[in-house]
Amino acid sequence: MTNLFRVALVTGASSGIGAATCEALAEPGVGIAIHARNNTDGAKRTAGRVEELGAIPFIVHGDLTDQDIVTRVVEETTGHFGRLDVLVSNAGFADRRPIGEIDRPGYEASMAAMMNAFFDLIVAARPWLERSPAGRVVGVSSFVAHAMGRGLPTFPATAAAKAGIEAMARAFAVQMARFGVTVNCVAPGFVEKDSGSHTAIAPERRAALESVVPIGRFGKPAEIAAMIAFLCGPNGAYVTGQTIHVDGGVTL
């Protein structure tokens, strides 16, 4: 596809932070591959908003715990657009089960959906990023890898998976720096969910949790997406190997 100056692939983009990121990246001359595992309706809504903003949407589906599907998602994106400049790895889930309750399959499910999927994505995207004039990678981490205690909920398996993404991103940042590719992570705090979507935090606990956030509220998906878009844009060209916390101060 011609006349595009940038193409982005955003995983987990049918709702929440992923959908907001697609909107934040959308502008004329940009192609955006909108990944969803099962939420086709949500992906279509995201595609409609992206198109309204002048960008060209393309929906890709698949369970990113399967390495072959990750490869196919990247191949479909590059086959459709002819390039890939920006990768935002956002897909994942939260598991609150404590050590002793979560079993090995549950632990491995977190690793497969987040850390392993991130690894498979950067492996598949690497050749395209190397030839991009402004390659960008952003992994979406979480405060749960950093903030524990003080009445905060703990997510052992999720925390381990997200911490792994951050470490891998730093290593990849070193590898890709000579190509001008930046690799960073954004670690959100508590973030508002779309109406009707799954949440790991019971609604009745929200007020108590907001009280431990210095800014006093949950973040909005668009606020997280704004940082991701900055790191993916020209003004983020000298930032690499970092984890940026967008959490209202919860990790202070």
Q: How far apart are CA 192 and CA 203, in angstroms?
A: 11
Q: What are the start-end ranges of the H helices in 82-141?
A: 104-110, 117-131
For the chain, 252 residues long, the average pLDDT of each consecutive 10-residue run is: 88 97 98 96 97 98 97 98 98 90 95 96 98 98 91 90 98 98 97 70 75 92 98 98 97 92
What pLDDT is recorded for position 205?
Answer: 75
| CA atoms within 13 Å, Cβ hemisphere of 222 | 2
Q: What is the pTM of this model?
A: 0.94
pLDDT in tens, 76-116: 999 999 999 999 999 988 988 989 999 999 999 999 999 99
What pLDDT is recorded for position 202?
Answer: 66
Domains in the chain, ordered, with CATH? 6-246 (3.40.50.720)
Cβ–Cβ < 8 Å for 80, 1: yes
Is 69 exposed, middle or buried (CB count within 10 Å of its CB: 0-12, 13-18, 19+)?
middle
In 10 A of CB 47, how many CB atoms? 22
What pLDDT is recorded for position 197?
Answer: 56
